[in-house]
């Protein structure tokens, strides 16, 4: 799939693009996930299929699917949770709001300037970002237990103890600020 293409020509030629995209080529998604898990074929990339066509009303439609297994941080246990995404893509390309209002309910409108090429990879990334739940987490009972105190290294315990001892007395700083020989009330 090209980085940029003319969607009107692609629809005129009934172009179909399918393949995979590496996570590194989807920077917004890369910031939101830990990584990608391998899909049944052993591939740890995003799989896509995009078909450009004109519908009966003359609108340019982009239909297809986006598939990936996203690795996300669980918000309960902070462990890693995998989310399988198999998102359908149904876009209607429009040149203005009036055209968007005439689109069918089954299409998401995408505003495209007449002579501007589009980046279909952005649509793939958008679908994956929309598939991420607001609070990703394991199913109840599947969370990884947090580390027990016994599993914490001795060095970590010493550092934690020093931090606690330093902050035990919240008024210690006031004692240091008191000037010597000042009358106490």
Per-residue pLDDT for 19 more than 70? yes
Residue 143: is its pLDDT beyond 90? no
152: confidence class by pLDDT, cuts 50, 70, 90: very low
Predicted confidence (pLDDT) at residue 56 exceeds the cutoff of 80:
yes
Q: How wide is the angle at C-alpha 92 spanned by C-alphas 6 and 22, nearest 5°?
A: 60
pLDDT tens digits, residue range 100-115?
899 888 999 999 987 7
Tell me the pLDDT of the chain averaged across its residues.
83
Q: What span, in angstroms and rounded, lies between the C-alpha atoms of 11 and 33?
A: 33
Average pLDDT over residues 153-176: 58
- Whether this prediction's pTM lies above 0.75 is answered by no
In three-state form (DSSP H/G/I as H, E/B as E, the rest C), the secondary structure along the chain is CCCCECHHHHHHCCCEEEEEECHHHCHHHHHHCCEEECCCCCCCCEEEEEEEEECCCCCEEEEEEEEEEEEEECCCCCCEEEEEEEEEEEEEEECCHHHHHHCCCCCEEEECCCCCCECHHHHHHHHHHHHCCCCCCCCCCCCCCCCCHHHCCHHHHHHHHHHHHHCCCCCHHHHHHCCCCCCCC
Chain segment 81-98, per-residue pLDDT in tens: 999 999 999 999 998 888
State pLDDT tens for residues 65-75. Answer: 999 999 999 99
User: Is 40's pLDDT higher than 50?
Assistant: yes
- Confidence at 155, pLDDT banded by 50, 70, 90: very low
């Amino acid at each position: 799939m090209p980085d940029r293409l003319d969607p009107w020509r692609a629809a005129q030629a009934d172009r179909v693009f399918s393949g995979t995209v590496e996570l590194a080529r989807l920077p917004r998604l890369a910031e939101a996930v830990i990584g990608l898990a391998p899909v049944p074929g052993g591939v740890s990339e995003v799989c896509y299929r995009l078909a450009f066509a004109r519908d009966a009303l003359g609108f340019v439609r982009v239909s297809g699917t986006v598939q990936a297994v996203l690795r996300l941080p669980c918000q309960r246990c902070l462990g890693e949770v995998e989310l399988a995404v198999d998102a359908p893509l149904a876009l209607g390309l429009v040149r203005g709001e009036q055209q968007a209002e005439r689109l069918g309910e089954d299409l998401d409108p995408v505003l495209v300037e007449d002579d501007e090429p589009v980046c279909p990879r952005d649509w793939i990334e958008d679908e994956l970002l929309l598939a991420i739940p607001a609070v990703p987490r394991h199913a109840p009972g599947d969370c990884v237990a947090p580390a027990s105190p016994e599993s914490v290294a001795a060095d970590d315990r010493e550092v934690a103890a020093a931090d606690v001892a330093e902050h035990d007395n919240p008024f210690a700083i006031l004692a240091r600020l008191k000037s010597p020989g000042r009358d106490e009330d």
